[in-house]
Structure 1
Amino acid sequence: MNLNNKNILITGAAQGIGQAMAVYLCQKGANVALLDLNREKLKKTTDLCEKAGSKVMALEIDVSSESQVEGAIQKISNNLGSLDGLINNAGILRDGLLVKTKKGQILQKLSLEQWQSVININLTGVFLCGREVAAHMIEAGSKGVIINIASISSAGNFGQSNYAAAKAGVVALTTTWAQELARHGIRCAAIAPGMIETEMTSAIKPEARAKINAGIPLGHMGLPKHIAQTAAFIFENHYINGRVIEVDGGLRL
Structure 2
Amino acid sequence: MKLQDSVIVITGGGQGLGRAMAEYLAAKGVKLALIDLMPEKLEEAVAACKAAGSEAKAYTCNVAKEEDIEKTFKAINDDFGQMNGLINNAGILRDGLMVKHRDGEIVKRMSLAEWQAVMDVNLTGVFLCGREAATHMVSNGDQGVIINIASISRAGNMGQSNYSAAKAGVSALVPVWAKELARHGIRVMGIAPGFIETEMTASMKAEALEKMTAGIPLRRMGKPEEIASTAAFIFENDYLSGRMIEVDGALRL
Identity of aligned residues (%): 59
- Taking the TM superposition and a 5 Å limit, the aligned residue runs for 1:120-131 are 120-131=120-131
- 1:104 shift after superposition: 3.2
Describe the SS at the equivalent of 2:245.
strand
Aligned residue in 2 for 1:81: 81
Aligned residue in 2 for 1:52: 52
Describe the SS at the equivalent of 2:147.
strand
- 1:92 shift after superposition: 0.3
Give unmatched runs, 5+ long, in structure 2: none
Amino acid at match of 1:24: Y
- 1:117 shift after superposition: 0.4
Aligned residue in 2 for 1:176: 176
Aligned residue in 2 for 1:201: 201
Deviation beyond 2 Å, 4+ runs, structure 1: none
Amino acid at match of 1:249: G
C-alpha distance in structure 2 between counterparts of 1:55 and 1:80, whole Å = 10
C-alpha distance in structure 2 between counterparts of 1:200 and 1:92, whole Å = 11
Aligned residue in 1 for 2:107: 107
Deviations 1:44-69 (A, max 9, x none): 10000011221111011000110000
C-alpha distance in structure 2 between counterparts of 1:208 and 1:163, whole Å = 20
Describe the SS at the equivalent of 2:58.
strand
Deviations 1:175-196 (A, max 9, x none): 1001110011000000000000
C-alpha distance in structure 2 between counterparts of 1:110 and 1:52, whole Å = 43
Aligned residue in 1 for 2:17: 17
- Taking the TM superposition and a 5 Å limit, the aligned residue runs for 1:130-145 are 130-145=130-145
Give the alignment's TM-score, normalised by structure 1: 0.99
Give the alignment's TM-score, normalised by structure 2: 0.99
C-alpha distance in structure 1 between counterparts of 2:194 and 2:162, whole Å = 17
Describe the SS at the equivalent of 1:208.
helix
C-alpha distance in structure 2 between counterparts of 1:78 and 1:178, whole Å = 26
Aligned residue in 1 for 2:156: 156
- Taking the TM superposition and a 5 Å limit, the aligned residue runs for 1:29-48 are 29-48=29-48
Amino acid at match of 2:115: W
Deviations 1:116-140 (A, max 9, x none): 0000000000000000110111111
Describe the SS at the equivalent of 2:134.
helix
Deviations 1:167-213 (A, max 9, x none): 00000111100111001100000000000000111121111111111
Amino acid at match of 2:127: F
Amino acid at match of 2:80: L
Superposition RMSD in Å? 0.7
Describe the SS at the equivalent of 1:200.
helix
Aligned residue in 2 for 1:222: 222
Deviations 1:130-171 (A, max 9, x none): 001101111111100000000000000000000000000000
Aligned residue in 2 for 1:119: 119
Q: Name the stretch that deviates more: 165-174 or 202-211.
A: 202-211
C-alpha distance in structure 2 between counterparts of 1:41 and 1:133, whole Å = 23
Describe the SS at the equivalent of 1:147.
strand
C-alpha distance in structure 2 between counterparts of 1:229 and 1:53, whole Å = 17
Give unmatched runs, 5+ long, in structure 1: none
C-alpha distance in structure 2 between counterparts of 1:110 and 1:180, whole Å = 35
Q: Name the stretch that deviates more: 77-86 or 49-58.
A: 49-58
C-alpha distance in structure 2 between counterparts of 1:106 and 1:175, whole Å = 40
Amino acid at match of 1:230: T
